[in-house]
Structure 1
Amino acid sequence: IVDVFTAANSVTSRRPRRRSGTPSQLRWRVESLSGRPVHTASGQVIGVDGPIGARSSADAVVIPGPFVGDIERFFARLDTVEPLLAALRRQHERGTLLASYCTGSFILAEAGLLDGRVATTHWAKGRTFAMRYPAVDLRVAEILTEQNRIVCSGAVTTSLNLALRLVEKFAGADVAAETGKLMLIDSNRVSQAPYASRARDTQHSDALVARAQSMMEKSLQQGFSLARLARDLSVSERTLNRRFKLAVGEAPLQYLQALRVDVAKRLIETTRLKLDAVSGRVGYNDLSTFRRLFKRETGLSPREYQRRFVRRAPAA
């Protein structure tokens, strides 16, 4: 983000001076709770300009996304950052714009700042976020959300899109556009959906649902019947539906449709199968039905997905 701000200042410095005589430059500070350098998950040490101050003022505050390998350990540690949560609440009350990317949205939500507001986060953490913060209007497919001076963005590389949005707000749309071109930032990304994977939905402790998911994966080409699946698992349809929603966050049929699209994405990426063959492999004999479902889940048609994500050897 600081690199984007630096580039924006470079763009601004090359522009004609304003009436005040000096071009408008972005200024920033990097702060930590203790005022000491921050040790990142990748082993880097980030120097800071000082501690987070209760009385300091800013036009905007950016909350970086912490690396979250163990979500329960992450939640257990949130009570240690209450001074940060209180500082964020005070800043927002003063009219400061708050911005976060990736898992930084968990910190904003923990501070109560996202209740009743739209937000996004990393697509793989969406279900966990929604269950912990039901009062938040989560739009997990979105790259950026904004409401009431709070801007959130998705997975970590969307921090570049977030930075451009801040440049646009504080330096102007033309400076943001030129900065984006200079740094090759794709400002046309509108959704995280093409990147999402169903692998995340096995991270729960319900053995019954895990068995149901395994049976679905092994029978993708067959027609789906909730009654047959419940019978094979020796439970009622009502019990299976309830347990599935609690563990995965959606009904079995919704999960199966998304799983089929996920498998189709992998087939498109890694094989030379034609689309009708891919469609048949995941249980859709009607290609038009498959295309509609694929676009609904990913925001892209199968052909568009193929053009964007199929790996090609670099030019010699």
Structure 2
Amino acid sequence: MITIRIWVYDGILASGVAGPIDVFNAANLLGARESMPGGSLPKFAWRVESLDGQPVRTASGQSIAVDGKIDARKRADVVLLTAPFFTSMDDFVGGRERLATLSSALRRQHKAGAVLAAYCTGNYLLAEAGLLDQRVATTHWAKAADFARRYPRVELRAREVLTGQDGIVSGGSVTSYLNLAVRLVEMFAGEKLALTTAKALLIDVSRTSQASYATLLGEHGHTDALVARAQQRMEATLAKGCRLSELAAWLAVSERTLNRHFKEAIGLAPLEYLQNLRIEVAKQLLETRPITLEMVSERVGYGDTSTFRQLFKRKTGLSPSAYQMRFARPAGDDAPRLPS
């Protein structure tokens, strides 16, 4: 019997509790069917636990019942951390005292040999406990910059859906809890049952990168008027192309000054921001209308389609044609697609 303790707290996403449990339950049912005479696959047992043993309230207002209180002394094969829904680590419900209690329990479980698993913002809790220092991890792509600034000792691989090292398995964005649960089935019951379970629940285990889902541009949520004007200029002249020297001259500043302002305001150099802008516009074109690669390339300021294709794949992890096939809105059967 594989014991999984699912740790919950106020503000989590409800699906992050039910989803993994559905995977473990399916693995039990399918495993019983797959077992051969004279041998049997391990079964998964789970408990949902909170810091005080009381039900928790999800971010959407639902109440989640629990089976008991988090007790680090109780043996677990796996501790699965659900993802708190917060805009910053300071918003963790319960504050620093509850976070310290949780961190201590996590360290004790890891020392005792339990596999620790977290996804999305749950990885912040592992990092707060110091358990990701000098180890690989991932998190939601939209949190990557914040996570990297807050935890510089973590080897963050934000493009990846799953990472694992030293008994710690880390999942990326929200629904990676399904991939994470399948990975745990694989670790304890083997690849065959894991694949059978994934197929039965229609879980895409081939999804290895978050890059194609990521938005490369943040909001213009800064107060730098110079950078705001530069961004507006880039957006207005995107199809014509943009040279840093010409942009700086139009703004009546030096290239060095422009670079410094961009780095301070949004953490990117102007040309990197421009590349990201081009890719985001290209993604919108591919998602919303039948269009050729040449037309997309021209509209975002690239005369050389080969160069554009290479940049697009480097930034998103998919070729333009593969991206269009995956994300384009449904259209008529005669809607043209990019050639493979």
**TM-score > 0.5 by shorter chain:** yes
1:57 aligns with 75
The answer to whether the 8 A contact 1:30-1:49 is kept is yes
Q: How does 1:50-199 map to 2 (within 5 A)?
A: 50-68=68-86, 70-71=87-88, 73-74=90-91, 78-80=95-97, 81-199=99-217
**TM-score (ref. length: structure 1):** 0.92
Pair 1:113–1:289, CA change in 2 (3 A): same
1:4 aligns with 23
Unpaired runs of 5+ residues, structure 1, are none
Matched, 1:200 2:204: no
Q: CA deviation at 1:314?
A: 9.5
Q: Write the distance in 2 (CA, Å) between the matches of 1:167 and 1:93.
A: 22
Q: Write the distance in 2 (CA, Å) between the matches of 1:245 and 1:76.
A: 32
Matched, 1:13 2:32: yes
The answer to whether the 8 A contact 1:127-1:249 is kept is no
Count of equivalent residues: 313
Aligned-residue CA RMSD in angstroms? 2.2
> For residues 62-121 of structure 1, what are the alpha-carbon distances to aligned partners after superposition, in whole Å with 9 as ceiling and x for unaligned?
1111112x3265269651421001111111122221111111111111111111111111
Q: CA deviation at 1:235?
A: 3.9
Pair 1:207–1:138, CA change in 2 (3 A): farther
Pair 1:121–1:207, CA change in 2 (3 A): farther
Q: What SS does the aligned partner of 2:307 have?
A: helix
The letter of the residue matching 2:159 is A
Unpaired runs of 5+ residues, structure 2, are 1-19, 334-340
Identity of aligned residues (%): 56
**TM-score (ref. length: structure 2):** 0.85
The answer to whether the 8 A contact 1:35-1:48 is kept is yes
Matched, 1:223 2:223: no
Runs of 4 or more, structure 1, over 6 Å off, are none
Q: Write the distance in 2 (CA, Å) between the matches of 1:31 and 1:234.
A: 60
Q: Write the distance in 2 (CA, Å) between the matches of 1:207 and 1:61.
A: 47
Q: CA deviation at 1:138?
A: 1.1
Q: How does 1:2-41 map to 2 (within 5 A)?
A: 2-16=21-35, 19=38, 23-41=41-59
Q: CA deviation at 1:201?
A: 4.8
Q: CA deviation at 1:135?
A: 1.5
2:338 aligns with none
The answer to whether the 8 A contact 1:26-1:171 is kept is no
Pair 1:286–1:23, CA change in 2 (3 A): closer
